[in-house]
Amino acid sequence: MGRGLTWVLLFKFMTSIVQPLTIALVEDDQRIRHAMKLILDGTSDCACIGQYPTGEVALQAIPEQLPQVVIMDISLPGMNGVECVRQLVGKGVKAHFLMLTVHNDTDMIFSALAAGAAGYLLKPVPTEQLLAAVRDVYGGGAPMTSSIARKVVQTFHRKPASTAEALSARETQVLDLLAQGHLYKEIAEKMQLSYSTVHTYIERIYKKLQVNSRSQAVSVHRERQ
Using the predicted structure, report yes or no on whether residue 15 has a pLDDT greater than 70: no
- Is 206 within a domain? yes
- The HSE-up count of residue 52 (CA atoms within 13 Å, CB side) is 28
**C-alpha–C-alpha distance, residues 206 and 200, integer Å:** 10
Average of per-residue pLDDT values in the chain: 84
Query: Which of 104, 134, 154 marks a domain boundary?
Result: 154
Q: Grade residue 7 by pLDDT with cuts at 50, 70 and 90.
A: low
Q: Grade residue 17 by pLDDT with cuts at 50, 70 and 90.
A: low
166 shares a domain with 148: no
Query: Which of 121, 154, 187 marks a domain boundary?
Result: 154
127 shares a domain with 51: yes
CB 161: neighbour CB atoms within 10 A? 16
b/e for 26-53, b at 16 or more Cβ within 10 A?
bbbeeebbeebbebbeeeeebbbbbbbb
Residue 112 contacts residue 121 (beta carbons within 8 Å): no
Find the largest Cα–Cα distance for the chain: 78
Model confidence pTM above 0.75: no
**C-alpha–C-alpha distance, residues 110 and 51, integer Å:** 25
Domain CATH code at residue 60: 3.40.50.2300
Domain CATH code at residue 214: 1.10.10.10
Express each pLDDT in 106-150 by its tens digit. Answer: 778 888 888 899 999 999 999 999 999 999 999 999 999 988 888
- Is 7 within a domain? no
List the one residue out of 88, 120, 86 whose CA is nearest residue 101: 120
Compute the average pLDDT of residues 42-59.
95
Q: Grade residue 219 by pLDDT with cuts at 50, 70 and 90.
A: confident
Which residues form the domain of 174?
161-224
Number of domains in the chain: 2
- Is 5 within a domain? no
59 shares a domain with 34: yes
CB 101: neighbour CB atoms within 10 A? 23
